Structure 1
Amino acid sequence: MGSGPLYLKLRNRVEKAIDEGLLTDGDALPSERDIAELADVSRVTVRKAVQDLVKDGILVQRHGSGTFVSKPVARVEQPLSRLTSFTEDMTRRGWHAQSRWLTRGRFAPSPEEMVSLGLAPGDEVSRIERLRIADAMPLAIERASISAQLLPDPDLVDVSLYAVLEAHGHRPVRALQRISATNLRAEDAELLGVEAGDAGLRIERISYLESGRVVEFTRSLYRGDAYDFVAELTIGKG
């Protein structure tokens, strides 16, 4: 295979096979032993080349199943300077937004919801939990909580929560967001179509009405391989 690290040369051969269509999305790679024999390299070299390709998202390893060519994921670049809904974001990109409902109803609030939404004892909360999908690809799990006083009937939410809130005069005008890295739990990873333990982004958002009242407390999980959050910064004078 010429000069240079053997694992990089093997990696390049696998990438070339993918580029030329010899290996396509979802195809399984031969076993580590078979690749080593075919390429006349050690299994350690094969393992290192495969791990390098997995790290870059070109291959995916599934426990108990093997190694497969990964379907390319279109990344979403999401600015942090605008407060918009998922539906608005996807429509602006020309993508078809869909939702798969996980939970939708009125409930007694959890202590976290009571504190975040400023609820009193006896108040109820409307929960909207759904898998957000764009062009048939699951992108995020969104778990929104709203005071039942502001959203008495969560079944009114069909596509866009913000559209329903706006129709009732409760569209948020500003929000605070906290973004952190996380490793996805098995049940969340399954919904997002990735492996348990894969990287994800956790976002907690508290949105406010113009009056300053909290209208929304949302906890979302995003696929780490599909989202880039972008913030524009300015340099202050002095």
Structure 2
Amino acid sequence: MTDLVDALEQSEWYREGRGPRYKQLCRHISAMVASGALAAEDQLPSEREIADIADVSRVTVRKAIAELVADGMIEQRQGAGSFVRKTGERTEQSLTSLVSFTENLQARGLQSSSRVLLKGLFVPTPTEAMVLGLSPHHRVARIHRLRSGDAVPMALEHSSLPEDVLPRPDKVDVSLYELLRARGMAPNRAIQRVTAINATASVAELLELPEGTAILQIERTGYLQSGRPVEFTSGYYRSDLYDFVSELRLD
């Protein structure tokens, strides 16, 4: 700990004319991780402690840590602090390939798991009725799940499907798409919108992030070959762990 304190002193990393202090502090901590001076799972001192050691404001420290989090190098755990991530790799999800969260993680050698927060049959909301083409007397199957990879919370997904597509939402364990394929009701195309938002208190708590952290919100509508909409999912993904990638072609 003494070595870390010494390494964070301003004289070790700040040079006049080489950019804002938070940028220089960010680069310094990043270099410590790259060199092994800070190892995976090492905990950083608190923002207040770093500010005191480095003789800078807490705003400077907060901005430096925020950049390291966005780069996937540091992980902030609610109530615990900031830690060096086990790996600098982020999970990629193609925007042009319709695969489930489970399949995407398995393809990358990660163990997926789900914690079901809600599932059952309900009266559709106006949004669900409009997107899925349902009338008020229909019912909709809802499944809310916290999705994790190697036991690390990565996404919160709220899925809605017509009752005839998923009459037994209680049967969904890990992969919703696997169950839909077995019923011949899996979507073969989808339209989705990706938006950057700040995590609300409830979402941040589930994803183990500080409130207000920048995350990705995904809204996806899945369709059968016939064109019928059969899935509406609103998901919240940790931007420090997830990248959405698309391939563009010249027509």
Q: TM-score, normalised by structure 1?
A: 0.84
Match of 2:64 in 1: 52
Using the alignment, how far apart are the partners of 1:31 and 1:149 within structure 2?
A: 57
Using the alignment, how far apart are the partners of 1:22 and 1:173 within structure 2?
A: 43
Distance 1:22 1:34, change over 3 A: farther
- Matched-pair contact (CA < 8 Å) for 1:175–1:208: yes
- Matched-pair contact (CA < 8 Å) for 2:26–2:68: no
Shift of 1:189: 0.6
3-state DSSP of counterpart to 1:234: coil
Distance 1:194 1:228, change over 3 A: same
Alignment of 1:162-173 (within 5 A): 162-173=177-188
Amino acid at match of 1:52: A
Residue 49 of structure 2 corresponds to residue 31 of structure 1: yes
Bigger Cα Rg: 1
Using the alignment, how far apart are the partners of 2:75 and 2:238 within structure 1?
A: 15
Shift of 1:13: 5.7
| Deviation beyond 6 Å, 4+ runs, structure 1 | 60-63
Shift of 1:160: 0.9
Aligned residue pairs total 229
Match of 2:141 in 1: 126
Amino acid at match of 2:184: G
- Unpaired stretches in structure 1, ≥5 consecutive residues: 37-41
Alignment of 1:205-216 (within 5 A): 205-216=220-231
Distance 1:168 1:190, change over 3 A: same
Using the alignment, how far apart are the partners of 2:138 and 2:202 within structure 1?
A: 30
3-state DSSP of counterpart to 1:51: helix
Using the alignment, how far apart are the partners of 2:40 and 2:233 within structure 1?
A: 41
- Matched-pair contact (CA < 8 Å) for 1:104–1:127: yes
Match of 2:15 in 1: 4
Match of 1:92 among 102, 107, 113: 107
Match of 1:39 in 2: none
Distance 1:21 1:82, change over 3 A: closer
Match of 2:166 in 1: 151
Using the alignment, how far apart are the partners of 2:156 and 2:232 within structure 1?
A: 14
Using the alignment, how far apart are the partners of 1:10 and 1:207 within structure 2?
A: 44
Using the alignment, how far apart are the partners of 2:26 and 2:190 within structure 1?
A: 45
Match of 1:71 among 76, 85, 88: 85
- Matched-pair contact (CA < 8 Å) for 2:40–2:84: no
Using the alignment, how far apart are the partners of 1:232 and 1:16 within structure 2?
A: 32
Shift of 1:212: 1.1
Distance 1:72 1:189, change over 3 A: farther
- Matched-pair contact (CA < 8 Å) for 1:102–1:130: yes
- Unpaired stretches in structure 2, ≥5 consecutive residues: 1-10
Q: TM-score, normalised by structure 2?
A: 0.80
